[in-house]
């Protein structure tokens, strides 16, 4: 037999301990192990080593799980504050401000025209211009705050 056959057998022996092996590969390995005492011994040595590892008692600190959970929570909070979502919010806010400044004269003229057509006092249609930008900003702020509050509730 060539070396590639034995190498394939060793790979399948290791692979079947970690993940599933196709039925064709299982059948091939079973037949090969029946014919090749060297590979069969390697398979038995692997089984013996895994059995020995399962019997080892490992002592871990009592509070290891609690400390790990705390570190995971702290890292999740750090990622939430400085992660891609935060950058996306700032990018959207920047684009919004740019478009807001670019369209301000048109919105002002539009509200002035509407105020003239409806014979509204300047204070009323000027307040409409202010609300035109304030309301979406308040809605966006509320969404961000509710999202952060919801995420904080999930982690706790």
Does pLDDT of 29 surpass 70? yes
Do 50 and 98 have their domain in common?
A: no
In the chain, how many domains are there?
A: 2
Looking at the fold, whether 76 and 148 belong to one and the same domain comes out as yes
Domain boundary residue among 55, 78, 98?
A: 55
For residue 118, what pLDDT is reported? 93
83 and 144 part of one domain: yes
User: DSSP label at 63?
Assistant: T
Q: Are residues 35 and 107 in the same domain?
A: no
Full-model pTM: 0.38
Are both 31 and 68 inside the same structural domain?
Answer: no
Residues 34 and 80 in one domain: no
List CB contacts of 9: < 8 A, sequence separation 6 or more: 29, 32, 33, 36, 39, 42
Query: Do residue 70 and residue 51 come from a single domain?
Result: no
Greater confidence (145 vs 108) lies with 108
46 and 82 share one domain:
no
Q: How confident is the model at residue 112 (pLDDT cuts 50, 70, 90)?
A: very high
Question: Whole-angstrom Cα distance, residue 132 to residue 90?
Answer: 20
- How confident is the model over 46-102, as pLDDT tens digits? 888 888 888 888 888 888 888 899 999 888 887 777 666 667 777 877 888 888 888
Residues 126 and 102 in one domain: yes
Q: Which domain holds residue 84?
A: 64-155
Residue appearing with tokens 């509204």: 120
Residues 147 and 83 in one domain: yes
Q: Which pair of tokens denotes residue 61?
A: 């600190």
Separation CA 123–CA 117 (nearest Å): 15
Q: Are residues 51 and 70 in the same domain?
A: no
**Per-residue pLDDT, 151:** 64
68 with 91, same domain? yes
């Amino acid at each position: 037999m060539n070396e590639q056959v034995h190498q394939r057998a060793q790979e399948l022996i290791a692979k079947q301990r970690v993940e599933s092996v196709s039925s064709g590969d299982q059948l091939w390995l079973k037949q090969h192990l029946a014919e090749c005492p060297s590979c069969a011994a390697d398979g038995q040595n692997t089984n013996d080593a895994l059995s020995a590892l399962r019997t080892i008692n490992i002592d871990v600190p009592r509070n290891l799980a609690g400390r790990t959970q705390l570190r995971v929570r702290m890292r999740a909070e750090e990622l939430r504050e400085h992660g891609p979502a935060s950058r996306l919010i700032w990018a959207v806010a920047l684009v919004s401000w740019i478009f807001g400044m670019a369209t301000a004269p048109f919105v002002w003229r539009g509200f002035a025209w509407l105020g003239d057509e409806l014979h509204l006092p300047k204070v009323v249609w000027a307040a409409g211009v202010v609300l035109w930008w304030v309301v979406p900003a308040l809605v966006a702020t509320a969404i961000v705050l509710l999202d952060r509050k919801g995420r904080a509730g999930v982690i706790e």
